[in-house]
Amino acid sequence: MKENAPRLLSKSVTLDGVGKSFGEVRVLRNLVLEAQPGEFLVLLGESGCGKTTALRIIAGLETASEGRVWIGEQDVTDRLPKERDVAMVFQSYALYPHKTVAQNIAYPLVVRRVPEAEVAARVKEVAQSVQLGQLLERYPRQLSGGQRQRVALARAIVRRPSVFLMDEPLSNLDAKLRGHMRAELKHMQYRLGVTTIYVTHDQVEAMTLAHRVALLDKGVLQQLDTPARIYSDPANLFVAGFIGSPPMNFLKGRLADGAFEAPGVRVPAADRSRQARVVMGVRPEDCTLADPAGGQLRGQVYSIELIGDHTLVTVLVGEQEVVVKAANTFEARMGDTVALRVNAGRVYFFDADSGARIR
Amino acid sequence: MKENAPRLLSKSVTLDGVGKSFGEVRVLRNLVLEAQPGEFLVLLGESGCGKTTALRIIAGLETASEGRVWIGEQDVTDRLPKERDVAMVFQSYALYPHKTVAQNIAYPLVVRRVPEAEVAARVKEVAQSVQLGQLLERYPRQLSGGQRQRVALARAIVRRPSVFLMDEPLSNLDAKLRGHMRAELKHMQYRLGVTTIYVTHDQVEAMTLAHRVALLDKGVLQQLDTPARIYSDPANLFVAGFIGSPPMNFLKGRLADGAFEAPGVRVPAADRSRQARVVMGVRPEDCTLADPAGGQLRGQVYSIELIGDHTLVTVLVGEQEVVVKAANTFEARMGDTVALRVNAGRVYFFDADSGARIR
Amino acid sequence: MKPLRRLLAARRLDELAPAQKFVVYAPLLAWTAIVLFPLYWVIVTSLKEPIDVADGPYYIPFVDFRPSLHAWKYIFFDLGRDTLRPYLNSVIVSSAATLVAVLIGAMAAYGLARMEYRPSVGSVLLFVAAIALAALMSFWGGVDWRLALLAGLAIFAIALRMLGRRFRRRLANHDILFWVISQRILPPVVTAIPIYLMFKELGLLDTHSALIITYATVNLPIVVWLMYDFFCAVPRELEESAQIDGASRLRIFFDVALALVRPGLVATSLLVLILCWNEYLLALFLSTVEAQTMPLLVAAQNATRGPQWWYMSVLIIIMILPVIALTLLLQRFITKGLLVGAIKG
Amino acid sequence: MKPSSLGDVFDRQARAAFVLPSVLIILAFSIFPLLVSAYLSLVRFQIAPGGYTLHFVGWSNYRKLLFGSEQFHFLGTFGEVGALEWTLIGAAALWLLAAFVRYLRGGAWSLAGLAGRLLATAGLLAVAVLCAYTTGGAGRLGSFTVTLFYVTAGVAAQFLIGLGLAYLCTLPVRGRWFFRMVFFLPLMVTPVGIAYMFRMIADTTVGPLAPVWNAVGLRQISWAADPWLARIVVVIGDTWQWVPFMFIVLLAALESQPRDQIEAAQLDGAGGWRIFRDITWPSIAPVAASVVLIRLIEAFKIVDLPNVLTNGGPGIATESMTLHSFIAWRTLDLGGSAAVAYMLFFASTICCVSFFHFVVRAARRAQGA
Amino acid sequence: PSSAKEFDGVTVNVMTFTGPQIAEPLQRRAPDFEKLTGAKINVITVPFSDLYQKLLTDWAAGTNSVDAAVFAPQWMVDYVTGGYLEELTARVAKDRALKEDDVAPFFRDFSQKYSGKTYLIALDGDFHMVYYRTDVLKKLGRKPPQTWDEYLEIAKAAHNKDWNGDGKPDFGSCISKKRNAQAYWWITSISAAYIQSQGTAQGAFFDPRDLKPLTNNEAFATALRFYKDSTQYGPPNEINLDVGDTRKLFISGQCALTLDWGDIGTLAIDPTESKVKDKVGAVILPGATRVLDRDTGKLVGCDRKRCPYAVHGINHAPFAAYGGWSGGINAHANPKVKDAAYAFFSYMSQPAQSNVDVTLGKTGFNPYRISQFKDMSVWTRAGMSVEAAKNYLGAIEASLNSPNMVLDLRIPQNQRYQQVVLDTALARFLAGELDVAQTMQTIESGWNELSNELGKDKQLAAYRASIGAK
Ligand SMILES: Nc1ncnc2c1ncn2[C@@H]1O[C@H](COP(=O)(O)OP(=O)(O)OP(=O)(O)O)[C@@H](O)[C@H]1O
Ligand SMILES: Nc1ncnc2c1ncn2[C@@H]1O[C@H](COP(=O)(O)OP(=O)(O)OP(=O)(O)O)[C@@H](O)[C@H]1O
Ligand SMILES: [Mg+2]
Ligand SMILES: [Mg+2]
């Protein structure tokens, strides 16, 4: 998709070796990251890993302790925020409490001396697209959480900046609205090809929106790749464990003569050098419940959880839990012994100590 | 589950005919709702439908325009918040800016003159459970969004109130942490059996945590039932459309001689009285792609979207879109003609005008 | 038990329990009385004949004394112009001075609250020394003050070039803050004459501008201080989002910052306005005829015949009235929860 | 990037542009008077043919105040000090010493900090001793000690009352506007006016309170004849006048207090008082500290009330430093006047610097500002 | 209008304190004067309390926005030493219309002059007298006080009885003893009787021979004692009353005796203020039978030699406190303006005008010309009963004619002598901080310190000049 996004005004964003510390707290470490012009880059990471900080540094609200920030061809490290021409959705909304919704949304345009008529039109349009059409005359204090968040979003997308920075812009919206907004955003971004850096905790969101996903852990970049690859080809244990819900199952064991072995587990793994301390990872949807006879893993049903369209079955293999995604027709009682087989092409091995992927 | 939750100190919460208006804005209409002692009740609804307001009324922070509020045997409509013995997680955290994380969490206990040693212990414990152990000495302004949210959560669960009110307490946490917290909460609530009213937009959360789900729309209660029933037996079009993601597919058509008919659609529906304006609903996971020969619906592939463990295929049937959940091995090109068959037992019919379910 | 609760505990957050009501209203009403009684006395006095003031307290007009408007007549007709002129002067001077002080002061406060200043001790001392030199030159050396000032600045510039790099120790915002407020410590008794001389040099004696400049300056510190704290209370995120939206500093200051400290702003302006409105000593020296202000008129009512209570009372009353009106107008802006809904977390 | 508008130009120089106007104006205004009055305090002003002469006399103006013929006037008349006083002073000294040790122990001590604390401590002790001497036995307060009394008593009263009223006005009471309006009134009366007003009110023969006064059987006594009564009357007047100042500012501070924090505290089970102490107070503390500081500074300059109410009598019992300076000035003793003013300047500065460092900045640091 | 006038186009800024007193007559007569001479008189007023400073600053700083002023002659010394005041000797000499010889000798020879030169035009006669309630004295069957001791007796007798029929007990004697007000003048009025007996030139403050303060001796002690004793017969808050208050008390009938300037005479006939119309009598300041022997510092009985001016063996020393508002002219004003200013003051002072003005309460002017108490008619027309007028003017005449009148202290920085040292000491004396001896001690040392500070010789010279000591 990225390829055919218009390039006219879109600029690349480059963090090169950016680090940030608050006092002795090191929040970002030597972060190297580039978003191509028109790219939709999603930042993922645990709570507190430095996503917001990264965005704020790009926006120029924080000054990086080290490293430089580029927008397009320009080194903006020492530029004021207003000179960087970015639009941002704050994680904490930061609405103007003394302005009505309409005024809040209009502000970026008003500041830029856009003719009133046009402002009015744009505001109306944007408000519609975030479904706030009715509330334009309200003040932030008269809005619900989600509505406030949408005002914040609207205020950002009312402009055509060269970069969008969005910090969990949909986190407080209901599934339906979120789906809708997601589509809207994707469409808009596609249409305008504005480089976008997007923070979210919702993996479906990440998967559906992102051209590429950047995964941070404790301020260190773990992997930067397309959603599909991130999902199907994780660089290390952390990435593997972080992406996907329910998360990937991990089994400690060892690689010996062409198979991965652990109590109650024997998964053929040809062409693998033998190694003592190994973690095998397999996703719930890549395991299937097999007849107790065959199967590479065997254990007892530990819990069963019906989630709408499917059932999550937790199986105790040795001391280790394995979650399996089964059809919501699945029937079994706790403690039943079951066997599992895994989709051999979809198992991953990691070094138990370094967490590095073993290929 | 509910049955075997301890009943000692847990109280029921009853809203009886509660209404609330801000000026002429009517936010809640004649809301009748009861949470049994020890029940975990989840409030679902679109953004701005009145969930927070409802919680605030239960907490006593807003006064209901009409109706009364009961906690346990007591009519608390005219009681101050502090006399209601409820703990609340505010949607907007509402942390104390000049107290450290530790002091924030400790405050409810300190106010109750709990001996220092115990306070310290409880705080430590709770902080651990929300993974803030390291940050106890920080001030809120030094925390990330998610960390703040966890402080808010910790401050609520540090004490043992007779009712928990939680307003999207996990919305800003990453999937992994959220899963963990969800388990924690479920466990805690199960252990203590404190009646809990919980607002969320995350349906998985709703499904896994709730004993019962209450679905609001524009301040009106739509359905109050167990997650499973809500999902599998929606009371009306709104509920059906709101629960489940991707949402249920709706097809406009008519019921005639034992079948539902629409352009490109013919689904056998025996024992149904004929009716002109009908909406048929079927969930993506209840449709399967069939060989072009057979199948009750036929149309062209409109878009394909890989989402981690599965693929979403949008098929254009007549003018109407139908989303199908397919294995992530599914291969097809845009515009290919495909046929679908639906799980006959899992189709729902609604009156196109009233939205009421047709049984 | 239950009736007791009713008595002690409120039923909602937005009302008070009967018991609380008493605890709350009693002091309020008490202080109201304390405030109003003297003013009532002033009003009554303005209606008394001297004789009624002189012997024994009389409280209620018509009941225990015959009210007369002689004082009012005297102030409004006999004095006439001599009341009107100072009155207008007071209005002009204090409103103008307030505007200037609040504007400039608020800006400084904002700067100090949001940005970091680290002037080096050395250069500051240097500057002061230079200016001092200029002052000396013009005061004792009899050099024309403009020349003197230029010379001083020149010296400063040169010296800074030479020594600038040497200075290590630096001041911080709070030093500046304290310096600002410290300007109010010296009592006007001693500053009046020098200021008088300054304005004599400038040839501005007995003009509005003299008073406006003076009042604006002497009240700046108060503005800076009060506003500083109010600005500190505003969450930075709001201004940050304005920066992102592309507003200039100045614009942020007016559109966002000022709007969000409105209660503080109003309170401060009112205070400054009133301080200007009531200032006596400086007015005495800087004005002779044209620029005389009301306080002079009030003070003047104590002459060889002793205080003319009745006239004073009238003056006091007519001096309060406009301020009351203004306060009524502005107090609406001192309202709750301005920031609700602005920030999550 | 864009054609530079006014805003951009301003932005480049923002830091300077915001503060310079104030700083320059204040500088231009303060330096000259400061120098002149400083110089004046070292000279004797005398009218002489062709204008006046300034005859340099060194410290004699100050010497007079501290040790010479004006000592009784400035510092007061010294009486003998009882054991009780000494013990009190001793206690104070110990306490200060402890604070000192704590400071040094605290590690991060700077020379400036040390000097400052030394000065503050010395000042405090000196004042303590002075008070002991001038109150004990036949001792009598001088304008310096009287001023201190006005400052402490007045500002304390004003702050407490002001805060109390402001707080009450934030509660859901009927007629809030009315109360606010009324409480603000006294400030609007010109100080001279207030002084005369109180002279009327406080008059025990024809004043409104005379009947009360007589009823209590005090007809033959007058507050004006008793030093402490007179001082208290002055403080009452001062309080009446300045409560509104505290009131309005604290009110503004209280009103701009975030609501959801309070709601949270209510749910956490805190009562009105606790909420005030734990949540509201910390957030208004900086403003509170600032107004108190400002009032301190202003209170040191109190003059109109004593001047009009008692002209400093009985004896010199109610004479404040500024009044002292003012009288000297009126009688053309410009040197002496400036000297008093400068003593006031030093006293006030020491007091305020200490307050600033130990209270105001502490409060702000807690705020994280 | 037709013929061009002498001062066409000339404007004179005359400063005085905000009226109505003093300012009122000036403002009232300015238009007539303009019609007469074409000179525009522009009366500038500032609060009474600050007139002195205001004038001084304007003149000393060389702003000179004030061309002429009406002020208390006591200030003359400062303005003259500063060279701000125009000397008027020549002008006065030429000026027939002024009727200089009609001006009472004291004002002519002392009040308007400094070291023999005239600088001021008197517009008002100020000196202390004792006022009493004729009705009260009648009831008590007593004569007006001739000596201070009698004064006390009467006060004692009259104290604590209701004299104005309002049910409340009234007071024997009201003397304004407030600090920083007029207190220091009363003490002189009292002590002078014991201290000065040889005529004005003998001086009542210092010994003109060596500038030795006359404040530490039996005479002054006696005065102090009287001063304190009189308090017992006064209002409880007498210590906090200024003359304005005592006046109000007296004319509202609450006092039997009071000390005051001439004003009460006119105030008492003002119906809006007075409850004691025609019940007021005035008498020259009481005197003493024993006077100070300046060498021993003891009191000795009067005799021909010691008290040449004694009446019935009683030595009176009426005190011209403040000295009466007079007009002076800024030496740096331009000549034309000076002339106009002089013309105006002269005009104000001429009998045609002043003889009317002195009878009007609101003018604040009191008689200072012989003619003003020769014909009664103006007074009766102004509302006095004949005998009231007789009595009042009698007292004035007696005082004015006394060659033993006391001239107020007029040496450089006299304010510091009187308003600071003397006044403070008195206040502390009343407040009980000091006893008689300490008080006298304090005053004496204070004055000496000042004299030394300012140059004893200069001060002595100035003092002698002011009282015209031979
Ligand atoms: N003060 C007010 N005045 C007018 N309308 C208000 C006010 N406060 C809230 N509302 C409206 O009440 C409705 C319900 O608000 P509420 O906060 O309960 O929604 P919510 O269900 O919590 O939504 P969200 O999921 O976004 O938090 C919203 O539509 C909001 O616009
Ligand atoms: N002022 C500060 N002082 C010290 N540490 C800070 C400060 N501000 C932020 N941090 C820390 O920096 C880290 C990164 O913060 P940031 O807001 O970027 O996290 P985040 O990735 O946005 O988390 P979330 O998803 O919860 O918003 C957090 O661990 C936080 O505790
Ligand atoms: Mg964040
Ligand atoms: Mg909500």
Measured between CA atoms, the residue of chain B closest to residue D366 is: B98
Closest CA relative to residue D358, chosen from D270, D293, D311: D293
pLDDT at position B2 over 70: no
Closest to B157 in 3D by CA, of B203, B189, B202: B189
Q: How confident is the model at residue B53 (pLDDT cuts 50, 70, 90)?
A: very high
Chains in touch with C (≥3 Cβ pairs < 8 A): A, B, D, E
Q: Across the strands, what pairs with E156?
A: none
Q: How far apart are CA B282 and CA B322, in angstroms?
A: 9
pLDDT in tens, E28-64: 898 999 988 888 988 888 888 888 888 988 888 888 8
Give the ligand whose atoms come closest to the C-alpha of residue B144.
2
pLDDT at B87: 93
Query: Do D and E touch (≥3 CB pairs < 8 Å)?
Result: yes
Of A20, A33, A53, best ligand 2 pocket probe by most atoms within 8 Å of the beta carbon: A53
| Residues in chain D closer than 8 A to A82 (CB atoms) | 11
Among candidates D260, D271, D366 on the partner chain, residue whose Cβ is nearest the Cβ of B94: D260
pLDDT of res. A2: 39
Mutate to test the interface with E, among C305, C308, C309, C312 (most CBs of E within 10 A): C305
Which architecture, in CATH terms, is D61-78+139-368? Orthogonal Bundle (1.10)
For D144, D308, E238, the CA distances from E178, given in Å and listed in that order, are 22, 11, 7
Task: Kindly report the nearest CA distance between residue D256 and chain A, in angstroms.
Answer: 12
Q: Give CA angle at D166 (D162, D168), nearest 5°.
A: 120
**pLDDT above 50: residue C110:** yes
Give B48 Cα–ligand 4 centroid separation in angstroms. Answer: 7
Q: Give the residue-averaged pLDDT of B341-346.
A: 84
Whether D11 sits inside 8 A of A82 (CB atoms) is yes
Please report residues of B whose CB lies closer than 8 A to that of A88.
Answer: none
Q: Do D314 and E60 touch (CB under 8 A)?
A: no
Higher pLDDT, B6 or C329: C329
Which residues, numbered 300 to 319 in chain D, qualify as contacts with chain E under a Cβ-Cβ cut-off of 8 Å?
Answer: 307, 310-317
Q: Are strands B13-22 and B163-167 parallel, antiparallel or unpaired?
A: unpaired
Q: How far is the CA of E347 from the centre of ligand 1 (A)?
A: 85
Token pair in block for residue B316: 């254009």
Q: Tokens in use for C84?
A: 């009107």
Locate E68 and state its tokens: 């002429």
Residue D2 pLDDT exceeds 80: no
pLDDT exceeds 90 at position D151: yes
Which of E419, E430, E454 is closest, CB to CB, to D331? E419
pLDDT at position B7 is: 45
Q: Is the pLDDT of residue D1 over 60?
A: no
The DSSP H or E segment spanning A120 is helix A116-129
| Of residues A134 and C289, more confidently modeled | A134
Q: Is B91 in the pocket of ligand 1 (CB under 6 A)?
A: yes
- Residue B165's pLDDT band (boundaries 50, 70, 90)? very high
Residue A5: predicted pLDDT: 42
Instruction: For residue C200, count other CB atoms closer than 10 A to its CB.
Output: 18
Give the gap in angstroms from C-alpha C330 to the nearest C-alpha of chain B. Answer: 25
Confidence of residue A3 (pLDDT cuts 50, 70, 90): very low
Q: Does the CB of B133 have a partner CB in chain A at under 8 Å?
A: no
> Per-residue b/e over E371-384, b at no fewer than 16 CB within 10 Å?
ebbeeeebbeebbb
Q: What is the ipTM of this complex?
A: 0.88
User: pLDDT for A204-239, tens place per residue?
Assistant: 888 888 999 999 999 999 999 998 889 888 999 999
Residue listed under structure tokens 């007292």: E395
In this model, does residue E232 exceed pLDDT 50?
A: yes
- The burial of C341, by beta-carbon neighbours within 10 Å (0-12 exposed, 13-18 middle, 19 or more buried), is given as buried
In terms of CA atoms, which chain B residue is nearest residue A231? B308
Average pLDDT (E198-209) is 89
Pocket test for ligand 1, best of B15, B18, B26, B27 (most atoms within 8 A of CB): B27
pLDDT for residue D172 = 86
C-beta B134 within 6 A of ligand 2: no
Give the integer Cα–Cα distance in Å for A194 and A88. Answer: 13
Contacts of D317 in chain E (CB under 8 A): 431
Which residue in the block uniquely carries the two structure tokens 């125009």?
E86
The CA-atom distances, in angstroms, between B301 and each of A179, A187, B293 are: 20, 19, 16
Which one of C197, C303, C306 has the shortest CB-CB distance to E18?
Answer: C303
Query: Kind and range of the H or E element at A14?
Result: strand A13-22
In angstroms, the separation between the Cα of residue B94 and the nearest Cα of chain D is 5
**In this structure, what token pair is assigned to residue E154?**
């009467």
pLDDT of residue A9: 64
Helix (H, G, I), strand (E, B) or coil at A275: strand
pLDDT at D258: 83
Q: Is E427 close to D47, i.e. CB distance below 8 A?
A: no
What pLDDT digit, counting tens, does each position of C214-264 carry? 999 999 999 999 999 889 888 888 999 999 988 888 889 999 999 999 888
Give yes or no for a contact between A165 and A197, defined as CB atoms under 8 angstroms apart.
yes
In a mutational test of the D interface, the residue from E170, E275, E433 whose CB has the highest number of chain D CBs within 10 Å is: E433
Question: What confidence tier does B9 reach under pLDDT thresholds 50, 70, 90?
Answer: low
Element (H, E) at B160: none
* Chain D positions touching chain B (beta carbons under 8 Å): 258, 260-261, 263-271, 274, 278-279, 282-283, 366-368
How far is it, in rounded angstroms, from Cα D106 to Cα D93?
A: 20
Contact at CB, B81 and D260, closer than 8 angstroms: no
The more confidently predicted of residues D265 and B328 is D265
Domains in chain D: boundaries: 61-78+139-368
Averaged pLDDT for residues D341-356:
89
- Any ligand 1 atom below 6 A from CB of B80: no
- By the 10 Å C-beta count (0-12 exposed, 13-18 middle, 19+ buried), C140 is classed as exposed
Q: Which ligand is nearest to the CA of B48?
A: 1
CA of B34 to the centre of ligand 1 (A): 22
Q: Quote the ligand 2 centre to D219 CA distance (angstroms).
A: 73
Asked whether residue A1 carries a pLDDT value surpassing 50, the answer given is: no
Q: So what's the pLDDT on residue B308?
A: 65
A146 lines ligand 1 (CB under 6 A): yes
The residue whose CA has the least distance to atom 17 of ligand 1 is A144
Instruction: Report pLDDT digits (tens) over C265-284.
Output: 998 999 999 889 888 888 88
Angle of the B145-157 helix axis to the B116-129 helix axis, nearest 10: 130
The 10s digit of each residue's pLDDT in A145-159 is 999 999 999 999 999
How confident is the prediction for chain A on average, in pLDDT? Answer: 88
> Is B52 close to ligand 1, i.e. is its CB under 6 Å away?
yes
Number of cross-chain residue pairs from B and D with Cβ atoms under 8 Å apart: 60
Sign, Cα dihedral of C250, C255, C260, C264: positive
Chains that touch E (3 or more CB pairs under 8 A): C, D
Quick check: D369 pLDDT over 80? Answer: no
How confident is the model over E412-441, as pLDDT tens digits? 888 889 888 999 999 999 888 889 999 999
Is pLDDT at B127 greater than 90 in this prediction? yes
Average pLDDT over residues C118-134: 82
Predicted local distance difference test score (pLDDT) of residue D37: 86
Note which residues in 73-102 of chain A have CB less than 8 A from chain B: 91-92
Q: Would the CB atoms of D368 and B97 count as touching at under 8 Å? A: yes
- D347 close to D173: Cβ distance less than 8 angstroms: no
High-pLDDT (> 90) share of chain C, %: 25
Measured in Å, residue A55 CA sits from the centre of ligand 2 at 12
Inter-chain residue contact E179 with D314, CB threshold 8 Å: yes
The confidence band for B5, taking pLDDT boundaries of 50, 70 and 90, is very low
Strand partners, B312: B305, B325
CA–CA separation, A182 and A171 (whole Å): 11
- Is residue C159 left, alpha or beta, with left meaning phi > 0 and alpha meaning psi from -120 to 50? alpha
Ligand 2 binding pocket includes A232 (Cβ within 6 Å): no
**Three-state DSSP class for residue C33:** helix
Tens of pLDDT along A57-105?
999 999 999 999 999 889 999 888 888 999 999 999 999 999 999 999 9
Q: Which residue has the tokens 């619900």?
A: A144
Asked if E416 and E399 count as a contact pair (C-beta separation under 8 A), the reply is no
User: What residue's CA is closest to ligand 1, atom 18?
Assistant: B50
pLDDT digits (tens, 9 = 90+) for A308-329: 667 888 888 888 888 888 877 7
Range A253-270 average pLDDT: 83
Both tokens assigned to C71:
């004082």
Q: How confident is the model at residue B89 (pLDDT cuts 50, 70, 90)?
A: very high
Ligand 1: does its nearest atom lie under 6 Å from the Cβ of A142? Answer: yes
Going by beta carbons, is chain A in contact with chain C, meaning 3 or more pairs sit under 8 Å apart? yes
Show residues of chain B in contact with C232, CB under 8 Å: none
**pLDDT top residue among E75 and E272:** E75
Rounded to whole angstroms, how far apart are CA atoms A305 and A325? 10
Question: At E312, which helix (H) or strand (E)?
Answer: none
Q: Using CB atoms within 10 A of its CB, is residue D121 exposed (0-12), middle (13-18) or buried (19+)?
A: middle
The dihedral of CA D113, D118, D121, D123: what is its sign? negative
Closest-approaching ligand to the CA atom of A54: 2
Given a contact cutoff of 8 angstroms between Cβ atoms, the answer to whether A156 and A106 are in contact is no
Which of A131, A143, A173 for mutating ligand 1's site (highest number of atoms within 8 Å of CB)? A143
Q: What are phi and psi of A310, to 5 degrees?
A: -155, 175
Least confident of A297-311, B240-254, E421-435: A297-311
Q: What is the DSSP letter of E418?
A: I
Alpha-carbon gap, residue D30 to D28, rounded angstroms: 6
The rounded distance, in Å, linking the Cα atoms of D137 and D132 is 9
